Structure 1
Amino acid sequence: MLEAVIFVVFPFCMLFAAISDILSMTIANRVPVLLLATFALVAPLTGMDWATYGGHFAAGALVLAVTFGLFALGGMGGGDAKLLAATAVWMGLNISLVGYLVTSTLIGGMLTVAILAYRKSPLAAYTGHNRFLRHFADESVGIPYGVALGLGGIVTFPDSPLMVWALDRLTA
């Protein structure tokens, strides 16, 4: 049962955040709250020691401090900052967090280049009224970076500590 929660909650939240950002250019507060609450309840039940548990929350606090600064400077959306911090809690202060940040950055860079090219193309005029493409076509809005954060989270989730624990339990 615990494994099922780990397998479902994180990927669902990442997909929901990505799709939500595509459709509305917002990431609802309930997504990072659900991620934090689930981690807070599940991690101790996996046998995670308290120092490691605290390290996971320290990772979230560190990422939140940096992303809040970026938000204050106008370089990042508030929903993106909160999602990054909540995802950092799941990854912890280890190589999983670095992998997530690098992967999300690479995906975000490719997404940004693709959206900017799409906005300059004639295709944007024809497809820009589509519900899923309207924010991609609109030059007056930013880049829905929640897509990159969600995809980065899904790609790197198999290496996260809770997922490794759950996979080990299934193979034992």
Structure 2
Amino acid sequence: MQALQILLLMIFPALAIVGALKDLTSYTIPNWVSLALIGAFPVAALAVGAPLAQVGLCLAVGFVGLLMGMGMFAAGWIGGGDGKLFAACALWVGWPAALPFMLYTGLAGGALTFAILALRSGYLAPAVAGAPAWLRKLGTTGGDLPYGVAIAVGALAAFPQSPLAHGILG
């Protein structure tokens, strides 16, 4: 039974990584990634035996994450797919791991910003010239940031502290 629980919990990091890679290579996060995360959550919560109160708290955290994502999207800080991924990841990390999730996401976002700025500085242009198209696009001055990468890094770093993972791994 524990193997099934772990397998169901692995859906979260797998889909978060898929979302990050899609954002990194195409600047889009498909809706199916966020929808699959949302759909898999109750199955995983049921499998690990999460109490109803804990599931409700995770739902509340996910809803707050959706409101935050919508606010960040409205402010032009992130894209719509990023906001949806943020909310779906917030659902999975729950409370109290939501606070480390936001901290780790912010730190990863800062590191991502510095890396992209270095890539766009011109010093690395010769190295990027023969790179795949998605990497050359990342190096284009004035382009967007694939913030889904930072969201996934923050979510993966906070996930071991989440109530679902803590019940199995802790």
The gaps in structure 2 that reach 5 residues or longer are none
Matches within 5 A, 1:68-87: 68-87=70-89
1:45 matched residue in structure 2: 47
Matches within 5 A, 1:1-172: 1-6=4-9, 8-94=10-96, 96-128=97-129, 130-131=131-132, 132-168=134-170
Would you say the 8 A contact 2:50–2:164 is kept in 1? no
Would you say the 8 A contact 1:59–1:92 is kept in 2? yes
Distance 2:122 2:48 in 1: 50
Cα offset, 1:110, TM superposition: 1.1
Cα offset, 1:115, TM superposition: 0.7
Would you say the 8 A contact 2:93–2:155 is kept in 1? no
TM-score of the pair, normalised by structure 2: 0.90
Matched residue of 1:26: which SS? coil
Would you say the 8 A contact 1:128–1:138 is kept in 2? no
Cα offset, 1:157, TM superposition: 1.6
Cα offset, 1:28, TM superposition: 0.8
Between the two proteins, the alignment pairs up a number of residues equal to: 166
Amino acid of the residue matched to residue 109 of structure 2?
Answer: G
Would you say the 8 A contact 1:22–1:135 is kept in 2? no
Amino acid of the residue matched to residue 98 of structure 1?
Answer: L
Would you say the 8 A contact 1:128–1:137 is kept in 2? no
How many percent of aligned residue pairs carry the same amino acid? Answer: 36
Matched residue of 1:133: which SS? helix
TM-score of the pair, normalised by structure 1: 0.89
Cα offset, 1:124, TM superposition: 2.5
